[in-house]
Amino acid sequence: MTEAMHQILVIEDEPAIRNVLKVLLEAERYRVIEADSALRAEIETRSHKPDLLILDLGLPDGDGQAIIRRVRAWSPVPIIVLSARAMEEQKIAALDGGADDYVTKPFSAPELLARVRAALRRNVRGPEQTSVLKLDTLEIDLAKREARSPAAEIHLTPLEYRVLECLARHLGAIVTQNQLIREVWGPERLGDSRGLRVCIKSLRAKIEPNPHKPRYLVTEAGLGYRLRADEP
Amino acid sequence: MSRTSPMGESRPDPDRLLAHVQAEEARANRGKLRIFFGASAGVGKTFSMLEAARVAKAAGTDVVIGYLEPHGRVDTERLAEGLERLPALAVSYRGIVRQEFDLDAALARRPGILLVDELAHSNLTGGVPQPRHPKRWQDIEELLEAGINVWTTVNVQHLESLNDLVYQTTGVRQSETLPDRVFDEADNIELIDLPADDLLARLQAGKVYVADAATTAVERFFRKPNLMALREIALRRVAERVEAASRALHPERARSRIAGERILVAVGPDDQAEQLVRAGKRMADAMAARWTVVYVETPALLHLSDADRNRRIDVLRLAESLGAETVTLDGPSAAAALLEYAQTRGATRLVVGAPKRRAWKAWIRPSTSTQLVRQARGFDVVVIAPAGGPTPPSLTARPGLQSVPQTVRWERYGWALGVSAMCTVLAFAMYPHFELSNLAMVYLLGVTVAGLRLGRGPSALTAVVNVTAFAFFFVPPRFTFAVSDVQYVITFAAMLTIGLVISTLTANVRRQTSVAGARERRTAMLYAMSRELAVTRGIEEIARVAVRHVAEVFQCSAAVLLPDEKGKLRRPSGAPTERSFRGADLAVAQWVGDHGRRAGLGSDTLPAAPALYVPLGDELRHSGVLAVLPANPRRVLLPEQSHLLDTFAGQIGLAIERARLAEVAQTSSLAAERESLRNTLLASISHDLRTPLAVMAGAASTLAERGEALDAHLRTTLAASIERKAREMSELVSNVLDLTRFQSGQVALLRDWQWLEDLAGAALERLEERLKDHVVEINLPPDLPPVYVDAGLIVQVFANLLDNIAKYTPAGTHGRVTAAVEGHLVRVVVEDEGPGFPPGDPERLFEKFQRGSGESAVAGAGLGLAICRAIVRAHGGEIEARGREGGGARFEFTLPTGEPP
C-alpha cells in the first residue's frame, strides 16, 4: 500500500470509537478524515472525495441509509457499514441500498482492516478488472465462461455462471440475496430464494474443496453471500 | 319517554341516577329546539318565527335561516331580508330538481340559532344527492345533537298520534307525520293561535299559501268547523304538554296517578292495526302509562300475503316510534295468548279492534275481541270501533321489502297423480276379492297420504282424481262416470272433505313447527355464539366468530368493524371469508359508532342503503360496528329479527369489551414481568460485568502507567486479555438484549427458506477462534429440505450451543451437529463428548441465569440456553437437553420445514 495514501472518511458520532478507528487506520498508513454527523459526512464526502467510507448506521442526526442513498447517487466509492448485531434489517437495507460490506460492532482490528483492504482493492481495479478469477488452484475465466482446475474440467450451467459472475464483480464484498436474485433471475422473482439456494449449493459442490465447509463462497447468514479470495 | 317504575321508590337506584345525570349532561350540550306550532296552514307560524328571529338578531344572536319553504309570500320574504340565509341544496329526483335543506352546510356553519321551516317535511329519499335521513325532523335531531339551536314550525295534523283524529275530523289524511317524541322533547313550544274567522279572512285576502288552491279538497279542509276542530286539538295538545311539564315538576303527584298502569294493544294484520296503535298511544299519554303493542302469530296468520306481512312490520315499527314496546307472541289462539300475556305482564287495560265477523260466523267461532271480552279477568278490555271511510294506505312500503313470488311446486302435483295411479292399481288388484266400500278405503288412504305429505293443492287434486277414478273404474255401471247409487255421493263428499281437512291441518302444523323451529334455532344459535365467544381469545378472532354466526343466523354477509386507538373504524385485517361483507361503507359505520345508533337498511338514517349498520356497545364505549348485508331484507327487518340482531350485537359488544379488558390486563402483567426480569437481570449481571471490568481496568492502567517498563510480550498479553474480556462483555450484553426482546414479544422473525448447513456453518465460522482446540463436525444428510426460519436467530442458536462446547468440554474433544427429517419438522442434534450435564433436571438449564456448574470461572450469565429456547419456540419448535449415551451433553431442537413455494 505504498503507491498513494488512501483517504478514508470515518462517519461515527461516538468520539471514542472514532479515535480508535483513526489510530488503527493511521497505523496502517491511511489518511483519515472524520465526520460526526450526517451533515458533515455529506460535506466531507463532496470536498475530499475519499476512497472509502466507514459509516456507523446509528447516527443521531440522520439515517445512515439516507447517507448511503445520497452518496450512491453520484459516487461508486466503497462504503463499509458499522452496525450492532441486533440490527439485521438495517444491515440488509444498507447492503441493498448500495453499501459494500459491513462489520459488526464490536469489531476486531484484523477483521476491519481486511475488509478495508478488500474494498480498496476492488475500487482501485475499477471497472476494467481482469476477467479471470483465481481461487487457489481454481481458475475461472468469466469472459469465456470457462472454469479450470488442475484436477478436472468444471462445467458451470448458465445460471451458476451468472451467480458466480455477479459475486466476482463484488469480490470480497457481500452480495445480498435480493441483489443476486434481481441480477440473475430478474426483479419479478424477488422474495423467492429457492432457486438461488439450490444454485449456491451446486456451485459449492463444483468449486469448493470441501462443500460442507466453504472456503470461497461463504454464507452471510440472513444477508447474502460473499466470494472470498485469498489475501494476496 | 319518562317511565316510572313502581319499585325502587325508597332508594335511588345508582344506575338510574347515573343515567339521569348523563341525560342532563347530554341535554346541556344539546341545542335547544323551539317549535312554532299552529292548528293549520296560514296561522302565521313562519311569520312569527321570522319576527322572533329579527328580535334575536337585533339582540346580537347569530341567527341564520337554514331553509324556508319557497311559498313566495311577500310579507314573509320581506321579514327574511337582512337575515343570513344558507343556500338551498339542489336535489334531482327523476329528472326534476328540487330545493332542499342542506344539512351538512348547516352543520359546517354552526350558527347560534338556525331557522328550518316545516319540521314534518319528508326528504327526497332516492334523490341525488341521497339525503342522510328520510325525514327533516331527523336532520334537526342531528343539528341539536351537534349543539345547534333550532327554530322550526309544524302544524297539529302532522303529529303522529293525532293523525287519525285529524283525519276523522277533517277527512284529510296527512302523509307527512312527526313522532310525538320530537314534539314532547322540544324545549319550547310557541303556539301560534288564530281564530277560525280571522284565518278564513286571511285566506280570502290571498294571504295564505295553499299548494293548489283550486282543488275542492283544500276548500273542504278550510271550512270553519274543521278549522275550529283543529284549533281545539292543537290547544288541547299544548295544554297536555303544559300539564306534563307540571307533572315532571311534582313527581309525587304524577306517581299517584299512574301507579302500575299498563296498556296492551292487540293488533292483527288488518287495516285497523294502525288506528289501534295511535289510539293506544293517546291513551297511554293521557294516563302516562307504559304500553305494549302485541301481535299474535296464529296458524291462520301464517299464510298471509307478503303485503300483509310487510304491513305488520310497519305497524310494529310505528308503535316503536311512538314509544311502545312491541312483542310478537305465537300460539294456536290469539285470544288465549293475549289473555295469558296480559295476566303475566299485569296489564290493566287491553285495547282491541271491534269484531268484523258476520253474525253467523261469530256464532260458530267468536272473534278474538269477543272471546277477550268474555274471558278477561282483572283488566279492562277496550274495543275500538273502526274509523269511518276506507283507510288509505298511509304507511308506504319500506324500501327493500319487495315481495318474493312464491314458487309453485309442480312436481308435487305429479306426485299427487302418482298417488292416485297407485291407488287405482291397488284397487284393481283387490277388486275381485273385496267389497266396493273397501276399495273406497284404499282411495281414502291415498288422499290421507297426499294430505299429509304433499300440501293442500296436490291433496285436493288427489281427492278429485281419486273420486273420479273410483266412479269411473269401480262404481257400477263400471267404465262410465254415471253413478247408480246415491250413497256413493256421500263417499265422494267425505273423501274430498277428509283430503282437504287433513292437508290443511298438516300444512298448519308444518308451518307452525317450522316457525317455532326457526325461532328455537335462532335461540340455540344465540346460545351457540355466546358460548363460542366466551372461549374465544383476541378481538380479531372474536370478530371472526361473530361474523360467522351472524351470517349464518341472518342469512347475510357480515363484517365487524373495529375502532383503532383513535376510535376510527377500520376494516377487518384478517383474510376475508365467503361470509365477509367487504363493501361496508366506513363513513356510515363511523357515524353509527359515534352516535351509538343504527343506520342503513330500514333504519331512520339512510334507510335505502343495502346494508344495515348496528352499533356494538353504547356511544360512550363503542366497541365497533356490525355491518350486515342481508340476502333478503326481511331477515333483519322483522321486529323480532331486528331485536335478535340487537341481542347478537349486544353479545358481540360484550365479548369485544371483555377481550379488550383482557388485553389491557395482559399488557400490564407483561409489563410487570418485564420489570421483574429487569431486576433479576441487574442483580445477576452486576457480577458478570464487574469481573471483566476489573480485569480490563487493571490491565489498561498497567499499560498506561508502566507501558515502557514492560516487555513487548507482556504488553501483548495484557492487551489481549482486555480484548477477550471486552468480547465476553459484548456477548453478554447482546444476549441480555436478545432475551429482553424475546420476552417483550418485540421480535419479528425475518423468515426465509434456509439450508441448515449454511446456518450451522456460519455459526461455526463465528466461533472459529473459540473452538480452535475442539473438533466440531457438521454432518447433515444431503437430502435435508430447507427450513423456513430467521437465519440470524438460528445461527445464534447454533452459536450458543457450540459455545457451550467451547466452554464446558475439555480441549481436544469432539462435537457433532446432525439432523433428520421427522414429518413436517427437522430435528437437529448438537452433541459433545464432555462431562455432560450436572445432576438434576436438565430442563433447569433453560431457565435464565442457570449455569452448568454453579458459580465458576466459566464466563457468561447462563442466558444462552434461555435464548435458544425463546428463539426455537418463536419458530414453532421445541428444544430439550438430554444426557448422551456414553457421556457428554446432547441438545435436540426441532424446526418447521415443508415444501418451499
B757 part of contact set with chain A, CB < 8 Å: yes
Percentage of chain A modeled with pLDDT above 90: 7
Which residue among B730, B738, B795 sits closest to A221, beta carbon to beta carbon? B795
Helical segments of B776-863, H only = 791-808
| Last residue of one domain, picked from the residues A59, A94, A125 | A125
* A175-184, B590-599, B649-658: least confident range: B590-599
Peptide bond into A106 cis (omega under 30): yes
Q: What pTM does this model have?
A: 0.42
pLDDT, residue B150, reads 92
Identity of residue B91? V
| Last residue of one domain, picked from the residues A108, A125, A142 | A125
Residue B406 has pLDDT above 70, yes or no: no
Contacts of A212 in chain B (CB under 8 A): 757, 761, 778, 780
pLDDT band for B398, please (50, 70, 90 cuts).
very low
Q: pLDDT tens across B349-372, in order?
A: 888 888 765 556 666 667 777 888
- The architecture (CATH level 2) of B260-384 comes to 3-Layer(aba) Sandwich (3.40)
Residue B850 has pLDDT above 70, yes or no: no
Contacts of A89 in chain B (CB under 8 A): 750
Q: Which residue of B has its CA nearest to A193?
A: B753
Cβ contact A106–B795 (<8 Å): no
Cβ contact B761–A194 (<8 Å): no
A85 part of contact set with chain B, CB < 8 Å: yes
Which residue among A106, A194, A213 sits closest to B900, beta carbon to beta carbon? A194
Identify the CA nearest to A228 among candidates A151, A121, A131: A121
pLDDT, residue A98, reads 85
More confident residue, B299 or B233: B233
- Determine contact, residues B846/B865, Cβ cutoff 8 Å: yes
Does any domain span residue A2?
no
pLDDT, residue B829, reads 92
B765 part of contact set with chain A, CB < 8 Å: yes
Q: Which positions 795-834 of B are in contact with A (Cβ < 8 Å)?
A: 795
CA distance B716 to chain A (A): 14
Q: Is residue A100 domain-shared with residue A204, that is, in the same domain?
A: no
Residue B409 dihedral angles phi and psi, to the nearest 5°: -95, 90
Does any domain span residue A232?
no
Percentage of chain B modeled with pLDDT above 70: 82
A146 part of contact set with chain B, CB < 8 Å: no
pLDDT, residue B858, reads 47
Counting Cα atoms < 13 Å in the Cβ hemisphere of B632 gives: 13
A69 part of contact set with chain B, CB < 8 Å: no
Q: Is residue A13 domain-shared with residue A73, that is, in the same domain?
A: yes
Q: Is residue A60 domain-shared with residue A154, that is, in the same domain?
A: no
Q: Is residue A79 domain-shared with residue A105, that is, in the same domain?
A: yes
Q: pLDDT tens across A72-121, in order?
A: 888 888 899 987 766 677 888 888 888 888 888 778 888 889 889 888 88
Query: For residue A190, what is the domain's CATH number?
Result: 1.10.10.10
The chain-wide mean pLDDT, for chain B, equals: 78
Q: pLDDT tens across A5-36, in order?
A: 889 999 988 888 888 899 999 988 899 999 88
CA distance B574 to chain A (A): 22
Which residue among B737, B757, B901 sits closest to A86, beta carbon to beta carbon? B737
CB neighbour class for B467 (10 Å; exposed up to 12, middle 13-18, buried from 19): buried
More confident residue, B852 or B839: B839
| Cα→Cα distances B614→B141, B278, B584, B592, Å | 19, 28, 12, 7
The verdict on domain B31-249 having CATH code 1.10.3720.10 is no
pLDDT band for B5, please (50, 70, 90 cuts).
very low
Q: pLDDT tens across B547-560, in order?
A: 888 888 788 888 88
B900 part of contact set with chain A, CB < 8 Å: yes
More confident residue, B388 or B746: B746
Which residue among A85, A106, A222 sits closest to B790, beta carbon to beta carbon? A222
Spatial separation of the C-alpha atoms in residues B398 and B244, rounded to whole Å: 34
Q: Average pLDDT of B575-589? A: 75
Q: Is residue A74 domain-shared with residue A12, that is, in the same domain?
A: yes
B/e letters for B418-446, b = 16+ CB within 10 Å, e = fewer, are ebbeebbeebeeeeeeeeeeebbebbbeb
Does any domain span residue A75?
yes
Q: Is residue A17 domain-shared with residue A112, that is, in the same domain?
A: yes
Find residue A16's DSSP bridge partners: none
pLDDT band for B378, please (50, 70, 90 cuts).
confident
Identify the CA nearest to B758 among candidates B778, B775, B774: B778
CA distance B758 to chain A (A): 6
Q: Which positions 693-752 of B are in contact with A (Cβ < 8 Å)?
A: 723, 726-727, 730, 734, 737-738, 741, 750, 752
CB neighbour class for B759 (10 Å; exposed up to 12, middle 13-18, buried from 19): buried
Does any domain span residue A71?
yes
Range ranked top by mean pLDDT from A210-224, B148-162, B736-750: B148-162
Domain total of chain A: 2
Grid cell listed for B155: 302544524
Q: Average pLDDT of B656-667? A: 84
Q: Is residue A17 domain-shared with residue A103, that is, in the same domain?
A: yes
Q: Is residue A198 domain-shared with residue A151, that is, in the same domain?
A: yes
Sign of the four-CA dihedral A208, A209, A215, A220: positive
pLDDT band for B258, please (50, 70, 90 cuts).
very low
Q: Which residue of B has its CA nearest to A109?
A: B723
Q: Is residue A136 domain-shared with residue A219, that is, in the same domain?
A: yes
Identify the CA nearest to B786 among candidates A201, A204, A216, A220: A201
Expressed as residue numbers, the domain containing A141 is: 132-227
Q: Average pLDDT of B695-709? A: 84
pLDDT band for B893, please (50, 70, 90 cuts).
very high
pLDDT band for B197, please (50, 70, 90 cuts).
confident
The total of other beta-carbon atoms located within 10 Å of residue B572's CB is 20
- Determine contact, residues B315/B273, Cβ cutoff 8 Å: yes
CA distance A133 to chain B (A): 24
Spatial separation of the C-alpha atoms in residues B31 and B660, rounded to whole Å: 34
Contacts of B739 in chain A (CB under 8 A): none
pLDDT band for B701, please (50, 70, 90 cuts).
confident
Q: Average pLDDT of B565-578? A: 73
Q: pLDDT tens across B479-513, in order?
A: 877 776 777 778 778 877 887 788 778 777 777 77
Find residue A153's DSSP bridge partners: A148
Range ranked top by mean pLDDT from A52-66, B1-15, B150-164: B150-164
Listed in order, the ranges of chain B carrying CATH 3.30.565.10 are: 747-896
Query: What is B538-658's CATH topology?
Result: Beta-Lactamase (3.30.450)
Grid cell listed for B520: 328455537
Range ranked top by mean pLDDT from B245-249, B251-255, B827-831: B827-831
Q: Is residue A120 domain-shared with residue A162, that is, in the same domain?
A: no
pLDDT, residue A32, reads 92
Does any domain span residue A136?
yes
Enumerate residues 6+ apart whose C-beta is below 8 A from B565. Answer: none
Report how many helices (DSSP H) and strands (DSSP E) chain B contains, helices first: 28, 25
Enumerate residues 6+ apart whose C-beta is below 8 A from B670. Answer: B744, B745
pLDDT band for B392, please (50, 70, 90 cuts).
very low
Cβ contact A213–B786 (<8 Å): no
Residue B393 has pLDDT above 50, yes or no: no
Listed in order, the ranges of chain B carrying CATH 3.40.50.300 are: 31-249
Query: For residue A33, what is the domain's CATH number?
Result: 3.40.50.2300
| Cα→Cα distances B137→B29, B118, B151, B182, Å | 19, 9, 12, 8
Q: Is residue A223 domain-shared with residue A186, that is, in the same domain?
A: yes
Q: Choose, out of B758, B766, B775, B797, the residue to mutate when testing the contact with A (most A CBs < 10 Å).
A: B758
CB neighbour class for B225 (10 Å; exposed up to 12, middle 13-18, buried from 19): exposed
pLDDT, residue B151, reads 92
Q: pLDDT tens across B858-892, in order?
A: 444 467 788 888 888 888 888 888 877 777 888 99
- Determine contact, residues B779/B761, Cβ cutoff 8 Å: no
Residue B145 has pLDDT above 60, yes or no: yes
Percentage of chain B modeled with pLDDT above 90: 3
Spatial separation of the C-alpha atoms in residues B182 and B161, rounded to whole Å: 12
Residue A56 has pLDDT above 80, yes or no: yes
Q: Average pLDDT of B834-850? A: 71
More confident residue, B165 or B118: B118
Contacts of B758 in chain A (CB under 8 A): 219, 221
The verdict on domain B747-896 having CATH code 3.30.70.100 is no
| Last residue of one domain, picked from the residues A125, A142, A158 | A125
Q: pLDDT tens across A113-172, in order?
A: 988 988 888 766 554 456 677 777 777 777 777 777 776 777 888 888 888 888 888 877
Q: Is residue A111 domain-shared with residue A149, that is, in the same domain?
A: no
pLDDT, residue B399, reads 38
pLDDT, residue B649, reads 87
pLDDT, residue B72, reads 61
Grid cell listed for A61: 442526526
